[in-house]
Structure 1
Amino acid sequence: MKLLRYGAKGAERPGLLDASGKIRDLSEHVTDIAADALMPDSLQRLAALDPQTLPLVDGVPQQDLRLGPCVGQVGKFLAIGLNYADHAAEAGMDLPSEPIIFTKWNSSIAGPDDDLTLPAGSAATDWEVELGIVIGAGGRDIPESEALDRVAGYCIVNDISERDWQLRRGGTWDKGKGYDGFGPIGPWLVTPDEVGDLAAMRLWLDLDGARQQDGTTATMVFGPAQLVAYCSRFTTLAPGDVITTGTPPGVGMGQKPPKYLRPGQTMRLGIDGLGVQTQYVIA
C-alpha cells in the first residue's frame, strides 16, 4: 500500500494511492495516518480493503491536489549522520564506528512539495535525499533480528540542513537541521511488502534540473534493521516515529566550490518505488 495524507496544511485527511494513481479517502476507516493506525493489525485491515470501494478524491496528487507529510502526529523525528561511506568520504570525515544520532524538531516536518523558506541570513542551506523509516509496532531494546517487523513503511525525506548553524556555530547538529520546513516527508508511506530490496534502492536529487545526488542504499554503513535496533536502545520507539537514515554523496557542502540553495531554485528528488518530491526555494 501507498498511504498518504492530502489537503490543506493542518487539515490533512488520510488516503491511499490506488493502482491508477488516484487518491482514495480512508476517513471512514482511520482518523489519520498516524499512531495506532500504523500498528500491524490496522495495516492488515487497510490492506484488505478494496480501493475501488473507497471514495474517490478529486484532483491529481502533487499537481492540483496538495499532499501533506505522509505521517501525522509524529512523536520523534530521529536522524542518522554520515551513514553512507561515499558521503563520509566526500565530507572528509571518518566512517562512524556506531550510528550518529541527532534530532530534527517536529516543526521542521513539511509536505513533500511545500515551498522551502530559507532562514533569515542563511548562506549555506543544503539538501540531502534520504530513506525514511516509519515505525509501526515500536518498543525499547528491539533485537536487530526483529527490527524490520516493527516498521510500518518507508518514505522519502529531504534532510535539509543549514551548514553554518550545523557545523560552525557551536553546539549540536540539531540547530542547523531543525528549521521550519527542513523535513519534507512523503509523498506517501510505502508498506514493506511493496518496497523490495532495502540494500539496492536508488536515491537521486536534481537542482534546477541538474543532477546533484545519485547513489544507492548499497553504500549505507548501517542498514535499516541496525538503525531501528540501535535507536531503540536510547528511546522507546512509538508508532509514527520517523528515522531518516543518511544521504549519499552530492550534497552542496561536498562540492568544489560548495554550492548552496538560493531563492528561485527548485529541488526535485526521489527514491525508487517511493515517489518524488519537489520543493521551490523562497527567501
Structure 2
Amino acid sequence: MPMTPTARLMDGTRLARQILDHSAATARAVTQQTGEAPCLATVLVGDDPASATYVRMKRARCEKAGIASRHLSLPAATTTAELVEAITALSEDPGVHGILLQHPVGAHIDERAAFEAIAPHKDVDGVTMRSFAAMSFGLPGFVSCTPAGIMRLLDHYDVDLAGRHAVVVGRSAILGKPAGMLLLARDATVTYCHSRTRDLKSIVREADVLVAAVGRPRFIRGEDIKTGAVVIDAGYNPGNLGDVDFDAAATRAGLITPVPGGVGPMTIAMLLSQTAEAAALQSGLAPADRLPASSG
C-alpha cells in the first residue's frame, strides 16, 4: 500500500506571482520617472526548440510585468568572437538594462567567455565570475536566478538555516555552487556532492536541507530523505520529472518543492525582479550601494 504524503508543499508558483507583482510595480515606477521601460535583452544561439521555447516564455512574462524585451537570434555557426562582440554591444547599449544569454550555446563556443562579456551591472542572470565573487563575499550584485529563487522560497516558509546541515547535490557554476555559498552565508553547514560522490546516500540521509541540482531524473531516492528534512528539487527532466523521487520523498520530508510548480517559476520571477532592479539602479532611482560591486 502506498504511503500517504506528509510533507508540506512549497508553492513556488504562488510566491513567484507575488515577486512578479512587485517587479511590475518597480517597472512602472521606472517607466513613469524616466519615460523608458526596463529592457531585458535575450540572446539565443542556434535553433534548439527547448531553448527557443524558454526564451519565448521569458519574453511573455516580461511583457506582463511591463518590462520590454529585445531578442537577438544568432545562427548555430556563430563563433565565440562573434557572440562576444554581440553581447559586448548590448552591454554598452544604455537602452538595455539586463542581458540573458540562453544556454547551452553549442559545444564549439566558449560559454564562459560569452558570459564574461556581460557587464556586471547588467548581469541579471547572475552568471559572470564577478557576480559569483560578489555573492560569495556578501557584496552588492546580482545572484544566479535559480539559487536566488531557492533562498526566497526558504525565507517564505520560515526555514531557519543557522546550524542546519545543508547538502547540495550538484556543482554547476550557476546553480549548485552559488546555492551552497548562499546557504553558507546563512550559517548553514554545507556539504557539496555530485554524481561521483562516494556513498552519496549516507550523506543525503544526514541532510536537514537538501538541494537536488544534479540533472538526473529521480536521482535522489525517497527512502534516503531524512525525516522532516526540507527538500528543494531544482531539477527538471523530460516528463516533468525532478531530480528527487517526489512521491516517496514526500512521505518523509517536512517541506518539499513539487516539479513543476516549485523552483521553476521562482527562477523566472527572480530574473524579472533583478531586471527591474537593474533598470532602477542604472536610472539612478535606487541607492547606489545596491549596484554590483564590480560595476563602477
User: TM-score, normalised on structure 1?
Assistant: 0.23
User: TM-score, normalised on structure 2?
Assistant: 0.22
> Which structure is larger by alpha-carbon Rg, 1 or 2?
2
Greater per-residue helix proportion? 2
